[in-house]
Amino acid sequence: MATHTISQRFNHSRVSLNEHLPVDHRLNQVYRLSAGVMGLALLVFGILGLVHQIGFFDTGGDTVAGLSTNGALSVVSIVVGLLLLYGMVRGGNFASTLNIVLGVLFLISGFVNLALLDTTHNFLAFKMQNVLFSFVVGLILMVFGMYGRVTGFLPHDNPYWKARHEVHEDV
């Protein structure tokens, strides 16, 4: 029986969010669907903002779909929407990780833009409804990105549970 140092045991038990999931795993559809729906919504919002020909850094309060917007926010929305749609097409862990990362960025954006409301630095023309939208989208993306990957109650056939409970035997 070989003895392990604490660091060896720690390194064997560490599980990364990038562990491999089979391509046809059922959670892949959750990651793809959430990325696709949010990406499509952001893409439509951005396109509608550009169609209204609002100034690029205009903070006049023009609204699209109930949210304040300008040309810069429309372009950012289109870019993020396309990125999410790419995540939907690629699927798997990429879509899941992309959802998590963009979800965190949406939450950070909500806090930053909350601090910038009613200041001259509010160049994306955010209003309170935009801040709330950022929080909601961020939480939705994070929840769906983490679904089946981050929890204490994973089923025993889940690849992440298997990786976390893998027995390492020395020969």
pLDDT digits (tens, 9 = 90+) for 115-169: 998 888 887 878 899 999 999 999 999 988 887 666 666 677 766 667 666 645 4
pLDDT digits (tens, 9 = 90+) for 67-81: 788 888 889 999 999
Structure tokens at 87: 């995540």
Nearest to 68 by CA among 97, 48, 90: 48
Are the C-beta atoms of residues 59 and 122 closer than 8 Å to each other? yes
Which residues fall within 8 angstroms of residue 82, CB to CB, at 6 or more apart? 39, 43
What pTM was computed for the model? 0.71
d(Cα 13, Cα 16) in Å, to the nearest integer? 10
Three-state SS for 64? strand
